[in-house]
Amino acid sequence: MNIVIEKKDIKEVYETAIIQQTAFWSEVKTKQGLQSEAFNFKVENKKIFGNALKNTYTHADFLVLLQPLDNEYSVAYVPYGPEIEPNEENQGKFLEELSESLRTYLPSKCILIRYDLAWESHWAKESDRFDELGNWNGPPEKKYQEFRFNFDTVNWNLRKANSDILPSNTIFLDLQKDNDQILQDMKPKTRYNINLSYRKGVNVKKVGMENLHIWYALYQETAQRNRIHINDISYFKTVLTARAENTASPADVELLLAELDGTPLAAMFLVISGNRGTYLYGASSSSNRNYMATYALQWEAMKIAKERGCMEYDFFGVAPRAEPSHPLYGLYKFKTGFGGELYHRMGCWDYPLHLEQYNRFIAVEMQSQGYHL
């Protein structure tokens, strides 16, 4: 396949709708103590798209985060990258060659490259993976996924990770329709709740750093209610202050607050990158839930993204199907109410660089139920 790869300055990372592949995200992660690297690559189109013209090439890039495991070993993590998506039959071979080309640019004791692939799952395109109600049954066992993904590779070295880091299932909503049509495409209950929220006097406004403590109080309440890991307030301060405006791939971050007569009810981070608005983080109060503030909040976020020229809205994380036992089922019910299309990604795939150390890493990771990079 002969992939030509070269390191480049983070400031030159191309503009993209994928936040996690921008210079903005690199700045966020650098402030959080991680090292990031950017790479250009060039590949012949015929090698990745099959029916392309000879001697035509794709020039693209990707961002890599380096996570130290200890004083000696590290892991390379590619969040939602690379963005370019080859034909299904060429994906494994492409990733294998990209990994081998990247190997020489990584620390000598980097034990693996983990690709958190935003590519559509192979098994989301097949009718026999859906039940009679249209619910997705998910991918098959790991061994079958690996058999298919490693097709035509030399080393047969791509491994499905035991858990995904970024959400592998989301909903994309088309913002190119007019507002009336977007509302019409929502479920009646969702549309009703949006209107109810406004009738009850809920107001949504953009706020800044001076209101970060209000966000954080709502976030702590939400995390405790849902029994999820709590990030320090400095994490959100970093996301709110990072801009990367002197780069080719900045992002706009808006902190939106829904309140009633000065009482905070819900808040969220809206991030605009390329032609996409993403609902990155959300929080809500356990009280006054009958005011349906989260519905008004989402609708205002969509309208803001649309006004900024976004063509789609990413709800960023749902259960893969309507399964009440799934921990994200509540988010599934809430987010599917706004319309949009469910999208199933490939999730995390590993390319081990040092097999013995990789096997140890996986054993530890399984015991800790996910090593978050």
- Residue 105 lies inside a defined structural domain of this protein: yes
- Among 123, 148, 147, 149, smallest CA distance to 137 is for 123
Q: Are residues 62 and 112 in the same domain?
A: yes
Q: Are residues 135 and 157 in the same domain?
A: yes
According to DSSP, residue 305 is labeled: H
Q: What is the pLDDT of residues 6-22, one digit of tens each?
A: 999 999 999 999 999 99
Q: Are residues 217 and 252 in the same domain?
A: yes
- Among 77, 60, 62, smallest CA distance to 21 is for 62
- Among 26, 4, 17, smallest CA distance to 275 is for 17
Q: Are residues 90 and 236 in the same domain?
A: no
Mean pLDDT for 290-317 is: 97
Q: What is the pLDDT of residues 143-188, one digit of tens each?
A: 999 999 999 999 999 999 999 999 999 999 999 999 999 999 999 9
- Residue 335 lies inside a defined structural domain of this protein: no
Q: Are residues 118 and 220 in the same domain?
A: no
Mean model confidence pLDDT for the chain? 94
Q: Does the pLDDT of residue 372 top 60, yes or no?
A: no
- Among 156, 165, 94, 169, smallest CA distance to 124 is for 169
Through-space distance between the first and last CA atoms of the chain, rounded to whole angstroms: 30
pLDDT band at 3 (very low <50, low <70, confident <90, very high): very high
Mean pLDDT for 293-315 is: 98
- Note whether 270 and 51 are within 8 A (CB): no
Q: Which residue type, as a one-letter code, is found at position 292? A: M
Let me know if 68 is exposed, middle or buried by CB neighbors in 10 A (0-12, 13-18, 19+): middle
DSSP 3-state percent helix, strand, coil across the chain (nearest 5):
35, 30, 35
pLDDT for residue 1: 59
- Note whether 114 and 76 are within 8 A (CB): yes
- Note whether 124 and 344 are within 8 A (CB): yes
What are 10's two structure tokens?
Answer: 């983070």
pLDDT for residue 147: 96
- Note whether 87 and 59 are within 8 A (CB): no
Q: Are residues 163 and 192 in the same domain?
A: no
Q: List, in sequence order, every beta strand (DSSP E) within 32-109.
A: 35-44, 57-68, 74-79
Provide the number of structural domains found in the chain.
2
Q: Are residues 159 and 181 in the same domain?
A: no
- Residue 338 lies inside a defined structural domain of this protein: no
- Residue 315 lies inside a defined structural domain of this protein: no
Q: What is the CA radius of gyration of the chain?
A: 21
Q: What is the sign, positive or negative, of the torsion defined by CA atoms of 306, 310, 313, 316?
A: negative
pLDDT for residue 370: 43
Mean pLDDT for 295-320 is: 96
Mean pLDDT for 239-248 is: 92
Q: Are residues 93 and 159 in the same domain?
A: yes
Per the structure, the complete domain to which residue 73 belongs is given by 4-167+345-368
Q: Which residue type, as a one-letter code, is found at position 93? A: K
- Residue 325 lies inside a defined structural domain of this protein: no
- Residue 320 lies inside a defined structural domain of this protein: no
Mean pLDDT for 273-291 is: 96
- What residues have CB less than 8 Å from 237, skipping those under 6 apart? 209, 212
Distance CA 297, CA 265 (A): 10
Measured at the CA of 135, the angle between CA 186 and CA 327, to 5 degrees, comes to 80
Distance CA 320, CA 327 (A): 11
Q: Are residues 11 and 130 in the same domain?
A: yes
Q: Does the pLDDT of residue 352 top 80, yes or no?
A: yes
* DSSP run (H or E) holding 206: strand 203-207
Q: Are residues 359 and 261 in the same domain?
A: no
Q: What is the pLDDT of residues 196-216, one digit of tens each?
A: 999 999 999 999 999 999 999
Q: Does the pLDDT of residue 368 top 90, yes or no?
A: no
CA distances from 127 to 123, 130, 136 (A): 9, 6, 9
Which CATH number is 194's domain given? 3.40.630.30
For residue 82, whether the previous peptide bond is cis, meaning omega lies within 30 degrees of 0, is yes
Distance CA 316, CA 167 (A): 7
Q: What is residue 2's three-state secondary structure?
A: coil
According to DSSP, residue 232 is labeled: P
